[in-house]
Amino acid sequence: MNANWRAQLGRIYAAPDVGNQLARYRRALERFAALYGAGPVSVYRVPGRINLIGEHTDYQQGYVLPAALDKDILFLARRREDALVRVHNLEENAFPPREFAIAADIPPYPTGDWGNYAKGPAQLLARRAAAPLHGVDLLIAGEPPYGVPRGAGVSSSSALTVGAGLVLSELNGLGYTAAELAWLSGEAEWYVGTRGGIMDQFIAMLAQKDHALFLDCRSRGQGENGLPQFQTELVPLPQGYNLIVADTHVRHQNVRSDFNVRVAEGRIGVALLQRRYPELRYLRDLEGKDWREVEPLLPEAMTWADLDRAGIRLNELIDVRFPESAAPFRVRQRCRHIVTENQRVRQSVAALKAGDVTRFGALMNQAHASVSVDYGASCDELEIMVALARQVSGVLGARMTGAGWGGCVISLARRGCESAFIDHVRPGYHDATGIWPDIFVCQAGQGAGLVESDVVA
């Protein structure tokens, strides 16, 4: 590895990390050669992500503002002349080798098997391809401390799917754009059974260092190849600040059922509002309307009997069977969160463009209050973590990020206060909960792509 490597990695990683990253890449190349033999290798990387603001808006076709992390997963790949895909991981004890042939129908591994994250995009791309695809020899490297943290809500699983799709597309010359690959990677997650919104894949593919990405989750129509198109905009982040992610290590039970109830409450709100606004399809369609006029149209709560009287059949709005205990449905406050959160995303973009980092921090704090009180997606541990983070001098804003009911807190902090943050938050959280949190300091990183082609392993 020569000076060109150091320069290339310097465009991706912070200067103090380049030496350690060089050693990391070197270890991966040596392992690839040991597994698959010497010869040319293409090296790709895919980052994790954090959502700065815009929580629970995507499934109402709203706005989000994520950033990529400077922690990533490496994908070292060599094209094969047959359709075989061989996958190894540097952490083979946790992720055993996998092998399969690319086809339009690839039988999945058992649910939860890590190999399905490669099978999903392989099957999807094979179905869309005009000719049979070449397989690959693949090595994946996502080990700590430079890999995407697993189980922390920063999209390590989506990074695997994006990376597998990127490698197969590039080495087969399929010609997809970054945005098209983002969409296809999201669709490929149906194979795994974890399909969410589109944010994780779009920020992974389109991110730029030191920037957030504004994403409008409503499609603007189809492109020439029939894939949906979305509005995105890079938004510069202020210099001199870090993103500090604190993992509560709490994953409350019934998160999926709580999430489904929130989805239902939003759809009930839309059904009620359509009687006044027939053109409305999603809550994002309320943009530009005065919430003071909208709010009286939405009841604070609705029982099952209220739904019947209103002629609303919940099973027609969402394909989930709810228990009687799901009611009352808190329609007004859930809708209020989504409407005001969309406004906060827009206001955050304006604040960041103006360099008003104090305003952005305040909007983060407001977003947490909204998702906690109006959306009811927080928990005691998240509230403790947020309160501790805000006590640290240099923290401008802190809020829960992700689906909620556990998971992570994201803080915007002046560079230089990281030690004080860790020294205060880590023991304070342990004293209050008995749990030691994981805390990692990040900067907004570069999106996925090719690092170097035809490297000799």
The secondary structure element, H or E, covering residue 248 is strand 241-251
**55: exposed, middle or buried (Cβ count in 10 Å: 0-12, 13-18, 19+):** buried
Backbone dihedral angles phi then psi of residue 248, each to the nearest 5 degrees: -70, -20
Amino acid identity of residue 6, one-letter, is: R
**CA–centroid distance for 157 within its chain:** 9
Residue 53's SS3 state is strand
Short-list 86, 97, 185, 101, CA closest to 136: 86
Residue entry with tokens 């094209």 = 79
Instruction: Answer yes or no: 380 catalytic.
Output: no
Which candidate in 58, 72, 137, 200 is catalytic? 200
Token representation of residue 429:
């959280």
Whether the CB-CB separation of 51 and 64 falls below 8 Å is answered with yes
Whole-angstrom distance, CA of residue 143 vs CA of residue 448: 17
Whole-angstrom distance, CA of residue 115 vs CA of residue 96: 9
Cα torsion at 10, 12, 14, 19 (round to 10°)? -50
**Strands 84-89 and 136-141, how do they pair?**
parallel
Long-range pairs for 250-257: beta carbons < 8 A, 24 or more residues apart: 250/379, 250/381, 250/382, 250/406, 250/407, 250/433, 250/435, 251/405, 251/406, 251/407, 252/379, 252/405, 252/406, 254/405, 255/403, 255/404, 255/405, 255/406, 257/326
Q: Which residues are catalytic?
A: 200
